[in-house]
Amino acid sequence: MAITLFALSVLIAVLKKYRSLNELYLVIAASAILMRSFERSMVALTNVYEVLLLMAFLIALYNGLCRLKKIDPFHPVVLIIMSGSFYLPIVNQTVTEVSGALRTPLLPIHVMLTVLGIVLLMIAGVLSLKHLINPLGTKFGKIHKLAKVGYLLWISGALLLGMIYAELSWGRFWGWDVKETWSLLVTIYYGVYFHLFKIKNDKIRHIMLLVGFILIVFNLIGINYLFTGLHSYR
Amino acid sequence: MKLSLKLVHITLTLLILFILIGSVVNTSTELEIFEESKLELDGNQYEVSHIDQTRVELHSAHLNHIIEINHPLRMKHYGMFFRDYKETLTVTIAFEPFDIEYIGPVNRMIENEAFEIYIRDSYVTEQNQFSGVGVEIHKDGTLLDQKLYILNEKNEYGTLTAFNTVKSANIIIVENKFRLVIYTLILLSLIAVAAELYRAFKGWRPWL
């Protein structure tokens, strides 16, 4: 699936059929998640590869919405990089079995909301970087709104539903696991950003969103590979 | 900043505060049991008949080789983790008061219902680099539920040969004094998040 996705995305990019590339991503990423889900009789969101697939799907969806609203979508190179990332040797493409304690209906809701929040915060970070390079890009108000929605979804998915999920599975709401602690740090960071919204200097706000991007990517991927804990899915 | 976002931050702060306080004041009673030892859980007498690598068998006076959870305990999460699996391997089974509504597969085990616990080592996931042991709940030979408790405090992946040396088990009775408060705060936070999301998406028409 990853090979197909990567090969087709490169081919379509070469042919400059960017619109088709986006649609292709929507279909293939969704099919990949569905196929893996049917294989295991549960929603396939259990390792980094599957999270990347969901992220690719969400970015393609965002691009589709941008096109509808006549806003500049992401350059297709982003999708090509994403499909290329599936090939990284650290990304495990095999189907991961999930332990009994984690097989609850809360798992897909927890992961999907969290990933959706992460994707929006990442998009806000990338748009901020674009804005820092070229200040004539997307208006700050829109970037801020994206970050806010992402932050709210992050809080509800990662923190609040995560707490309920942990309580049901492990008998405690919070365990100071590496990922849990880092997630709290990310939440506090964005909390500070929203409290400082009245800062008039756009540059500082863009830099803050960019730093947030780095924090959240490290939380999503880095923690899994550098530390061992209850959330070290790979 | 809008009021609902402030409310999200206030409830989140309170949540963390209660979780921190809870880690200090929550009671956690730990009983170490050995083969042929007797234990009393909330007034009920149990005998430990067998502990090995595949199962822990507890039984009360009138039920053989099964565990009877009758008032006011029932299993909440169970399993085991390795404190030091090279020397003194410890099995931990956690129980919790049979108090408020817990929605989960264990609900199928009702008061006075007898069932068996099997601890299996088949859930070890080397790929994820944590050790885990699955616990299966059986009743009359039928698998009712299975769960996993995992922990790898030492950042080590141990072979389960040490598992054969299981000779004792710990039963932990955990009482979270703030469960209701925490769930209320989570609910409040979710309501505040929903209100803020509603505000953000109000009037949004992606198809136009």
Closest alpha carbon within chain A to B106: A168
- Residues of chain B in contact with residue A152, where contact means CB-CB under 8 angstroms, are 5, 8, 193, 196-197, 200
B190/chain A closest Cα distance in angstroms: 6
Task: Report which of residues B114 and A138 the model is more confident about.
Answer: A138
Residue in A160, A187, A197 to test binding to B, most B beta-carbons within 10 Å: A160
Return the SS3 of B142: strand
A234/chain B closest Cα distance in angstroms: 7
Task: Report which of residues B1 and B84 the model is more confident about.
Answer: B1
d(CA B170, CA B83): 11
d(CA B118, CA B135): 6
Task: Report which of residues B199 and A25 the model is more confident about.
Answer: B199
Interchain CB distance below 8 Å, A155 and B76 = no
Cα angle B22, B26, B29 (rounded to 5 degrees) comes to 155
Interchain CB distance below 8 Å, A155 and B134 = no
Cβ atoms of A173 and B12 within 8 Å: the answer is no
Residues 192-211, chain A: which have Cβ within 8 Å of B?
194-195, 197
Interchain CB distance below 8 Å, B123 and A99 = yes
d(CA B150, CA A94): 22
- Residues of chain A in contact with residue B206, where contact means CB-CB under 8 angstroms, are 65, 68-69
Cβ atoms of A193 and A209 within 8 Å: the answer is yes
Residues 104-133, chain A: which have Cβ within 8 Å of B?
104
Q: Where are the domains of chain A?
A: 1-97, 101-234
Q: Does A174 touch chain B (CB under 8 A)?
A: yes
Interchain CB distance below 8 Å, B123 and A172 = no
Phi, psi of B150 (to 5 degrees): -130, 145
- Residues of chain B in contact with residue A169, where contact means CB-CB under 8 angstroms, are 77, 147
Cβ atoms of B115 and B139 within 8 Å: the answer is yes
d(CA B128, CA A228): 8
What global pTM score does this model have? Answer: 0.68
Task: Say what the pLDDT of residue A52 is.
Answer: 85
DSSP string covering A67-135, please?
HHTT-----THHHHHHHHHTTSTTS--SPPPPPGGG-STHHHHHHHHHHHHHHHHHHHHHHHHHHHH-T
Please report which confidence band the pLDDT of residue B40 belongs to, taking 50, 70 and 90 as the band edges.
Answer: low
Q: Does B83 touch chain A (CB under 8 A)?
A: no
Q: Does A187 touch chain B (CB under 8 A)?
A: yes
DSSP string covering A33-48, please?
HHHHHHHHTS----SH
Task: Say what the pLDDT of residue A161 is.
Answer: 93
Q: Does B28 touch chain A (CB under 8 A)?
A: no
Q: Which residue has the tokens 């039920």?
A: B63
Task: Say what the pLDDT of residue B71 is.
Answer: 22
Q: Which residue has the tokens 């922990």?
A: B151
Q: Does B114 touch chain A (CB under 8 A)?
A: no
Q: Among partner residues A68, A171, A233, which is closest to B77 by beta-carbon distance?
A: A171
Highest mean pLDDT among A32-46, A51-65, B93-107, B138-152: A51-65
Low-confidence ranges of chain A (pLDDT < 50): none
Q: Does A170 touch chain B (CB under 8 A)?
A: yes
Q: Does B15 touch chain A (CB under 8 A)?
A: yes
B175 has a pLDDT exceeding 70: no
Q: Does B204 touch chain A (CB under 8 A)?
A: no
Highest mean pLDDT among A14-18, A80-84, B54-58, B192-196: B192-196
Task: Say what the pLDDT of residue B200 is.
Answer: 83
Interchain CB distance below 8 Å, A145 and B193 = no
Residues 154-183, chain B: which have Cβ within 8 Å of A?
155, 174, 176, 179, 182-183
d(CA A197, CA B1): 7
Q: Which residue has the tokens 């890009």?
A: A137
Interchain CB distance below 8 Å, A65 and B206 = yes
Q: What are the CA-CA distances from residue B188 to residues A55, A156, B18, B180, B198 (Å)?
A: 29, 11, 14, 12, 15
d(CA A38, CA A135): 46
Residue in B4, B8, B26, B80 to test binding to A, most A beta-carbons within 10 Å: B8
Task: Say what the pLDDT of residue A118 is.
Answer: 94
Please report which confidence band the pLDDT of residue B56 belongs to, taking 50, 70 and 90 as the band edges.
Answer: low
d(CA A196, CA A202): 11
Q: Could you report the per-residue pLDDT of A14-48, keeping only the tens digit for each?
A: 666 656 677 777 888 888 888 888 887 778 787 88
Interchain CB distance below 8 Å, B150 and A104 = no
User: Do strands B73-75 and B142-150 pair parallel, antiparallel, or not at all (unpaired)?
Assistant: unpaired
Q: What are the CA-CA distances from residue B103 to residues A104, A105, A165, A168 (Å)?
A: 11, 11, 11, 8
d(CA A213, CA A125): 5
Task: Say what the pLDDT of residue B132 is.
Answer: 42
Q: Among partner residues B104, B127, B148, which is closest to A168 by beta-carbon distance?
A: B104
Length in residues, chain B: 208
Nearest to A55 by CA among A65, A45, A64: A45
Cα angle B11, B16, B18 (rounded to 5 degrees) comes to 90
d(CA B47, CA A44): 42
Helix axes A106-133, A202-217, angle to 10 degrees: 140
Phi, psi of B48 (to 5 degrees): -95, 110
Amino acid letter, A159: L
Q: What are the CA-CA distances from residue A109 to residues A56, A156, A164, A193 (Å)?
A: 18, 10, 12, 26
B43 has a pLDDT exceeding 70: no
